Structure 1
Amino acid sequence: MSQKNREGKRTAREAMHEQREKDKAREKRKRTLIVGGAVVVVLAIAGVVAGVLANHKSEPAKPVASPKGATGNDNLVIPTGAADAPSTLTVYEDFRCPGCGMFEKTFRDTVHSLEDSGALKADYHLVTIIDGNMGGTGSLNAGNAAVCAQDAGKFRAFHDVLYENQPDEREDKFGDKAYLLELADKVPGLKTDTFTACVNNGTYDSWIKKSAAAFGGSGFSSTPTVLLNGKSVYGNQTDPLTPDKLKQQVEAANKGKKAGTVTPTPTS
């Protein structure tokens, strides 16, 4: 083979090698650009998500309006009776609940008597079980109206009126705000412009919903749930509670304790 041919073959091999190296370099640059672009996209998405979260966190939660005199966790309790009474009756109730209506009709006078003597105070938790089970808004609307009455210092009186006029749970008559305002006429001095606006505007709807949500996490599942000084006393079919038994239990719990300071309570 001539020197010229050998040099020609070597030059061809070198050219092929050089081309392969260029191809490899080009592929490497391409992969680098792809990976780099993906990283940029991921970082951009992460930046957008972080921005959304930051904006979300920066928006303060809207406070839930609480009625005058509300107590307990998150101000979700409506108290009646002397604040310093030695015993407390805790009641979880739904104004559409027929069992709650039965409890009120049976024990209302006894509870009022114990409250008015300073022996007992009651803590009411308002919930909306029947609205959830049967549909409608009667539990919510009646609860809101009762809390509007609390603002006017007439919760107990209107509370009694609602149960005295409780419709069949399937009718959802309490869903009609006009009917609730009609019932307010039964409590002297309650139906003011302020009360009417409170009922019509659903001023405390969010408060009622928050109270109902708190009931969901309370460990109880039905209404009425009635506790005396933290102990369940109602609903035991083998040993049913009676008004006389309730009096006896309160007297026993209060033995040696001073009665609470009683202030006059408006009645219907």
Structure 2
Amino acid sequence: MTAAGRLLAVLDAFTPGRSLLTLSEISRRAGLSLTTAHRLAGELVNWGALERDDDGRYRIGLHLLELAALAPRGLELRELAQPFLEDLFHSTRAHVHLAVRDGHEVVYVETLRARGTVTVLSRLGQRWPLHATGTGLALLAHAGREVQEQVLEAPLKRFTHRTITDARELRRVLAEVRRTGVAVAEEQLTLEAVAIAAPIRGAGDEVVSALGLVVHVDECEPRALVPVMTAAARGISRALGAPSAADVRGVVRGR
């Protein structure tokens, strides 16, 4: 690995389930010698990318959060969308997700979790394959043809017995998402959960993000939530400067 590659390997050793690591764990997970891992971890601590606790264990540092705040598809998008997300959360009492596409995966840049409903696996910063989630389907349906074909030609991972793993079925679903403007994923990632999602458009009217709701299969008719969800998605699109959303009236507005 290059010097930069070794530094990135140290940072990549940390995952949602492994957010606090010893030096030995970093060395093993990054594929580096203990001496190299110690030197690089020290450099990252000095720079602020890592922090070290009193027990000598390492965790991600706040300087990375500062840099993430500069990402237009990350915290900046999250801050702009937050009022709409909160209104949607309070009006539906459902799990609310804001997501972006990164390659062949969907990444959650914000999640609002509801109590007393179905348990969801998704959390802030987590990644899932595009074909297995509502927001992922909404993003994939509006991705470029090359990206769609790459996903369709690759093996589609199964998470439940309802996960779409047939390319022909996925192609049909994507066409339906484009036709209706809404993606529906029933028990695709989590049993007893139904996800619905709508695209969010940017200043060039391109799809830049997706807004999703997750409810229990027996909690309500998911499509009854479509109007309020799509209104919120169009409100965020208008805030981003999307021409197609500029003349929308009656959208969900942030406080």
Normalising by structure 1, we get a TM-score of: 0.23
Higher RCO structure (Cα 8 Å, ≥6 apart) = 1
Specify the structure having the higher radius of gyration (Cα): 1
Q: Which has the higher strand share?
A: 2
Q: TM-score, normalising length from structure 2?
A: 0.24
